[in-house]
């Protein structure tokens, strides 16, 4: 069981800020593949990975990072604070 969080326009496209996902995905990229296969809104949100960033357990990570032990994965666009 893994919490998956979405922020900004990723949240808007997927339609929820957070959900719990049952997954055996080994990497973030694997998880993205699973999500893409679910519904059109996921495919739309994950269409261009270069426009996305990912955090594993609140640390910025890469799409090929392993998910072993992760409790929380978040997807969002590049940050625009400051």
Partner 1 sequence: MVSISISVQDTAFDAGAMLNDFSNENSQVGAVISFTGLVRDTPDNDLDRMVIEHYPGMTERALQTIADEAAQRWDLAAVLVIHRFGDLHVGEQIMMVATASRHRTAGFEAAEFLMDYLKSRAPFWKKEFTKSGAEWVDAKDADEAALGRWSAD
* Single residue of 28, 35, 45, 55 touching partner 1 by CB under 8 A: 55
| Order of strands, sheet of 18-21, starting from the edge strand that comes earlier in the sequence | 18-21, 2-6, 72-76, 53-56, 59-61
Tell whether residue 49 is a contact of partner 1 (CB under 8 A). no
Tell whether residue 70 is a contact of partner 1 (CB under 8 A). no
Asked if residue 50 lies in contact with residue 24, where contact means CB atoms within 8 angstroms, the answer is no
Tell whether residue 37 is a contact of partner 1 (CB under 8 A). no
Q: Which residues bind partner 1 (CB under 8 A)?
A: 5, 7-9, 11, 55, 58-60, 74, 76-82
């Amino acid at each position: 069981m893994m919490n998956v969080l979405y922020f900004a326009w990723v949240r808007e496209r997927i339609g929820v800020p957070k959900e719990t996902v049952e997954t055996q995905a080994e990497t973030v990229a694997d998880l993205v593949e699973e999500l893409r296969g679910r519904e059109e809104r996921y495919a739309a949100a994950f269409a261009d990975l270069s426009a996305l960033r990912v955090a594993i357990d609140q640390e910025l990570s890469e799409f090929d990072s392993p998910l072993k032990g992760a409790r929380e994965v978040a997807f969002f666009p590049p940050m625009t604070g400051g």
